[in-house]
Amino acid sequence: MSTIPSSEAIVAALSALVGPQACLSSDAELKPFVTDYRGLYVGQAAAVVLPGSTEQVSQVMAWCYEHGVAVVPQGGNTSLMGGAVPEPNGQAVVINLRRMNRVLDVDTVNDTLTLQAGVTLNAARTAAEEAERLFPLRIGSEGTCQIGGNISTNAGGTAVLRYGNMRDLVLGVEAVLPDGRIYSGLRGLRKDNTGYDLKQLFVGSEGTLGIVTAAVLKLMPLPRASSVALAAVPDPAAAVGLLGEAKKAAGQTVTAFELISGPALELVLEYLGNVKSPLEGGHAWMVLIELTSGGSSESLDQSMMQILEAGLESGLVLDAALAQSVADAQAFWRIREEISDAQTRTGGSIKCDVSVPLSRIAGFIEEASDAVRALEPQARMIVYGHMGDGNVHFNPLRPKDRAAKEFLAANYEQVSHAVDSLAHAAGGSISAEHGIGVAKRDDLTRFKSEVELELMWQVKKALDPKNLLNPCKVLPFSKG
Ligand code: MLT
Ligand code: ZN
């Protein structure tokens, strides 16, 4: 049996491949790369490599594969599931793609954007906008997260209702396989039925099958107009009803439809301090609606008003505020987008990221709320998310007078189990858009069938027989 090289030997070999500047190894240098951004997962690594090209990624991977060294791919390190940091014990190598941050091509005839994996989502969106196109993925971490990570985790966000998630936006992928071979699939085709769609192996597999190094993404027409409103609704069932009415009245222009619970809004207002709710008084439930189009904002505002007025008449809407300016719209969106950080800052949040068919989502929220209240009557129900596509962030939060650590220790397992089981029973998924990482890994055995788990392991073994690429992520040990 060959022994794994020492940390010193790993650093010496990889420095020779990428240059000493691009191979970090001191504790201080490693720290930000082995710690996830919420500080919940802290790992250990022999080195962090910052390759400058696909060829360097390939060389590093080939060396690590030959020598039995585990590799953890990393983009912006914004995973909520501990998916981008190494295990606490060991001497893995983190390959961070941030130096590979070039936009390679913007093709406004083919409507495609070709870029390296280390381009941030924000930079990708800007490159598209400069060419008067839209790259529609929209998530809170867009300034930090990278396209490679977005692909590896099949990122979702607030515009999935209209444009789909990352899987729907990727036309081509280049990826380095665990043994260092390069899969070159950088094609910008909307039709290609030549056998298995291999690029999809790298979408949503969280860096366990290959490291995405470049991609070809779809571009859309840049919307010129938008209308944004915040509406109070009596309950989630009314929100679902209103979504149906909005789709009927405004069709494809319905771009976002976000649910916000009263406690979620309160938490954000408390966290931001100097911000007021656009709606008077407190409400148990609200929805943030966005319409966008290539037409005029006046006509979109009219559609929005029709939706809201009809809702007020039928009782689906209790009160509503229409954004009167771009600044208003940004302020409405800010309230929604700060929910995540407000929870992180408060601490003691049990994050459940589930999806449920829209037809069952209201029942799910009611049952899950009852289940949590039975365990923790005072928990703050931070319930929000992308209702338009069936994704609920159901995140019970510690009561104000309870310490985060104690609240989580007492409730984390039971609450997540109850919420996930109810989502599963309603035909849903225990991870809608945040992935599995390590946080949900062991839960997969409960919610995936034998056949699904076996197939996943067979795919993993076919591409990574030594189990060296992002080991211990996604796949539960028991089926190894
Ligand atoms: C969001 O939609 O804000 C995030 O996906 C949820 C989160 O960060 O928990
Ligand atoms: Zn989300």
Mean of pLDDT values over 300-312: 98
Q: How many whole angstroms from 300 Cα to the centroid of ligand 2?
A: 25
Q: 70: burial class by Cβ within 10 Å (0-12, 13-18, 19+)? A: buried
For strand 45-49 and strand 92-96, is the pairing parallel, antiparallel, or unpaired? parallel
Which atom belonging to ligand 1 lies closest to the Cα atom of 351?
9
* Residue nearest atom 6 in ligand 1 by C-alpha distance: 340
Q: How many whole angstroms from 351 Cα to the centroid of ligand 1?
A: 9
pLDDT band at 403 (very low <50, low <70, confident <90, very high): very high
Q: Which ligand is nearest to the CA of 336?
A: 1
> CB–CB of 287/257 below 8 Å?
yes
Residue 1 above 70 pLDDT? no
Count Cβ neighbours within 10 Å for each residue of 96-122 and write b for 16 or more, e otherwise: bbbbbeebeebeeebbbbbbbbbbbbe
Average pLDDT, the chain: 97
Which atom belonging to ligand 1 lies closest to the Cα atom of 434?
5
pLDDT per residue over 3-20, tens digit each? 899 999 999 999 999 999
Quote the crossing angle between the two packed helices 358-375 and 236-250, to the nearest 10°.
160
Q: How many whole angstroms from 433 Cα to the centroid of ligand 1?
A: 9
Q: How many whole angstroms from 141 Cα to the centroid of ligand 1?
A: 9
Q: How many whole angstroms from 340 Cα to the centroid of ligand 1?
A: 5
Which atom belonging to ligand 1 lies closest to the Cα atom of 339?
3
* Residue nearest atom 3 in ligand 1 by C-alpha distance: 340
* Residue nearest atom 9 in ligand 1 by C-alpha distance: 340
Between CA 446 and CA 68 the distance in angstroms is: 31
Helix, strand, coil content of the chain in percent (nearest 5): 40, 20, 35
Return all residues near 478 (Cβ < 8 A) that are at least 6 apart: 445
H/E element, 63: helix 54-67
pLDDT per residue over 320-340, tens digit each? 999 999 999 999 999 999 999
pLDDT above 90 as % of the chain:
97
Which atom belonging to ligand 1 lies closest to the Cα atom of 157?
2
Mean of pLDDT values over 428-438: 98
Calculate ∠ Cα 242-244-248, nearest 5°. 115
pLDDT per residue over 102-144, tens digit each? 999 999 999 999 999 999 999 999 999 999 999 999 999 999 9
Between CA 329 and CA 274 the distance in angstroms is: 17
pLDDT per residue over 64-106, tens digit each? 999 999 999 999 999 999 999 999 988 999 999 999 999 999 9
Q: 193: burial class by Cβ within 10 Å (0-12, 13-18, 19+)? A: exposed
How big is the chain, counted in residues? Answer: 480
Between CA 197 and CA 215 the distance in angstroms is: 14
Q: 347: burial class by Cβ within 10 Å (0-12, 13-18, 19+)? A: middle
> CB–CB of 93/47 below 8 Å?
yes
Q: Which ligand is nearest to the CA of 264?
A: 1
Between CA 413 and CA 400 the distance in angstroms is: 20
Pocket test for ligand 1, best of 268, 339, 351, 394 (most atoms within 8 A of CB): 339
Pocket test for ligand 1, best of 38, 80, 335 (most atoms within 8 A of CB): 80
Q: How many whole angstroms from 425 Cα to the centroid of ligand 2?
A: 21
Residue 52 above 60 pLDDT? yes
Residue 200 above 50 pLDDT? yes
| Predicted pLDDT at 311 | 98
Mean of pLDDT values over 157-165: 98
| Predicted pLDDT at 194 | 97
Residue 478 above 70 pLDDT? no
Q: Which of 343, 353, 356 is nearest to 157 (CA)?
A: 353
Residue 433 above 60 pLDDT? yes
- Which amino acid type is present at position 116? Q
Q: Which ligand is nearest to the CA of 339?
A: 1
Residue 385 above 70 pLDDT? yes
**Range 33-40, long-range pairs (CB < 8 A, 24+ positions):** 33/74, 33/77, 33/85, 33/94, 33/96, 34/85, 34/86, 34/94, 35/85, 36/77, 36/79, 36/82, 36/84, 36/85, 37/77, 37/78, 37/144, 38/80, 38/344, 40/82
pLDDT per residue over 27-39, tens digit each? 999 999 999 988 9
pLDDT per residue over 236-286, tens digit each? 999 999 999 999 999 999 999 999 999 999 999 999 999 999 999 999 999
What residue ranges line ligand 1, CB within 6 angstroms? 80, 140, 339-340, 351, 385, 393
| Predicted pLDDT at 480 | 47
Q: How many whole angstroms from 470 Cα to the centroid of ligand 1?
A: 23
Between CA 236 and CA 361 the distance in angstroms is: 8
